Structure 1
């Protein structure tokens, strides 16, 4: 069952030679491919609601600095890892189930001069290929929605953290007002969507040993951001550089559904900081 879910998730996210697709789009909008910056990549590589703004908010809440080694679980094409490395000077290791994303992440990080601060691996978040207690911070944005075994996921995140380490989460959670309308950016059908409600996430984290130190409901600002994005796509079509490069033409329907899911309370957004106090 798990292998079938993982295969379906990889199929959902996989796009052949996604790094070259991104570079072609950058060139199309006039970027010099020999002098790229992380900011040039931001419209496509921060693959979560509110993009870079949400990443920076979570990073500040988690107290990131240049002394921290961060594990970015579900690192995608590397947008978050590059942002954290550039803005805070920390070392970031990324891991993602989709191999094409890791290859693109490494290539793009080299292009923007951050290869010495970031590295990427292919792997399953519920079976991390790392020793116990080696990361100062474990980070995850918009990833747990695709993972059915939440207890195993959070136990693994707890395992690889150092004592007194920090878990930083920004995730989509089940809302109070009905089931999710599909397709959405993380799943084309319910078969690969595994949302929990906020109180369930709190219980899951505490059950594996985390102590929650901060919890913010960011649904309202997320709703405004996504509705604005969906309306812009409806009026103007896709920009040259955007999330549709990762998900294809049906991203327009995904964006519209995501806006409705937020507007109708079918999903909510949570920013969580927790500690491993042993």
Structure 2
């Protein structure tokens, strides 16, 4: 799967074609495949003016980012307890640089439904506090931690990334593909540095603007993102670490891995949907969710990259 929206005769129907065929309820005959490709894809409503100040848990058009139904759809795509690419099997690879162990405390700044926080706690025995910008996701995440017997070892709480604060210092901070939506990245970096213990670790995976790429190349993606993107370059991230005396050890492009997780999960979803009937609300959420991630994959071919940054705080 390439993430392209056009059908290739040698490869069979495209992902969008299969999804549209499923949506309309017809078989993928040659005639219907062509009609589906020529028809306009399902689209979200036109973007009204965004609110002056971004609010946690609300999209740029003033509506809730999440609903119970969308949570159900996300878990179907990414796995139980996850709302973004990379399930429990992916977590050890992702957090490997942190060197987690049972003596460590971790702050997860993009907890979502808490799947990554619980995976870290269960796999490595560390103590994780998950913070999530969406109150609805945070509540659902805490319920899942309670059900997993990890309410104390991996609690999930709501917070405002634009006004980041925490009550104590930790051994490690982890932030998974969330900082690109934060306008005040400097206050976020200041908070990370303040809340890290001496010799503490920070690991950030995030979307960045590739060298030589222009925001104009990403207009379609930028305009349709639920939260307004505030992209930094690799150099801006490196400068933010350096300005706070955080020793940047890894700046790694993980776009291919990230893209693969997305495409594999969506393909599984397509196969699942071909065998199940869904109500209208669920269909709408499935289409919205798939379009969100297909747009991101397409943006990765035009200058959006996913990077992993790892840094150390020096001893006092």
Quick check: TM above 0.5? yes
In structure 2, the CA distance between the partners of 1:121 and 1:17, relative to structure 1 (3 Å rule), is: same
TM-score for both structures, normalised by structure 1: 0.78
Is the contact between residue 65 and residue 89 of structure 1 (CA under 8 Å) also seen in structure 2?
yes
TM-score for both structures, normalised by structure 2: 0.69
1:175 aligns with 2:210: yes
Give the whole-Å Cα distance in 2 for the aligned partners of 1:239 and 1:253: 20
1:57-206 matched pairs, under 5 angstroms: 57-131=93-167, 134-176=169-211, 177-178=213-214, 179-180=217-218, 182=220, 188-189=224-225, 192-206=228-242
Specify which of 297, 311, 315 is matched with residue 259 of structure 1. Answer: 297
Give 1 or 2 for the bigger CA radius of gyration: 2
Give the whole-Å Cα distance in 2 for the aligned partners of 1:18 and 1:160: 35
Q: Which residue of 2 aligns with 1:15?
A: 66
In structure 2, the CA distance between the partners of 1:75 and 1:3, relative to structure 1 (3 Å rule), is: farther
Shift of 1:260: 1.2
Single out whichever of 147-156 and 55-64 deviates more from structure 2.
55-64
Structure 1 stretches lacking a partner, 5+ long: 30-40
Shift of 1:138: 0.8
In structure 2, the CA distance between the partners of 1:191 and 1:254, relative to structure 1 (3 Å rule), is: closer
Q: Which residue of 2 aligns with 1:275?
A: 312
Q: Which residue of 1 aligns with 2:36?
A: none
Is the contact between residue 214 and residue 274 of structure 1 (CA under 8 Å) also seen in structure 2?
yes
Is the contact between residue 127 and residue 156 of structure 1 (CA under 8 Å) also seen in structure 2?
no
Deviations 1:77-132 (Å, cap 9, x if unpaired)?
11111111110111111112211111101111111222231122221234334235
Give the whole-Å Cα distance in 1 for the aligned partners of 2:97 and 2:87: 16
In structure 2, the CA distance between the partners of 1:51 and 1:171, relative to structure 1 (3 Å rule), is: farther
Is the contact between residue 164 and residue 187 of structure 2 (CA under 8 Å) also seen in structure 1?
no
Deviations 1:206-262 (Å, cap 9, x if unpaired)?
11221112222112222333334445555664898xxx89x6531121122122122
The number of residue pairs the alignment matches comes to: 256
Equivalent position SS for 2:53? helix
In structure 2, the CA distance between the partners of 1:251 and 1:191, relative to structure 1 (3 Å rule), is: closer
1:31-50 matched pairs, under 5 angstroms: 43-50=79-86
Shift of 1:171: 1.3
Q: Which residue of 2 aligns with 1:33?
A: none
Root-mean-square deviation over aligned CA pairs: 3.4
Specify which of 48, 54, 58 is matched with residue 5 of structure 1. Answer: 54
Give the whole-Å Cα distance in 2 for the aligned partners of 1:87 and 1:96: 21
Q: Which residue of 1 aligns with 2:19?
A: none
Single out whichever of 215-224 and 66-75 deviates more from structure 2.
215-224
Give the whole-Å Cα distance in 2 for the aligned partners of 1:232 and 1:255: 14
Flag the structure with more relative contact order, 1 or 2, with Cα contacts below 8 A and sequence separation at least 6: 1
Give the whole-Å Cα distance in 2 for the aligned partners of 1:191 and 1:48: 15
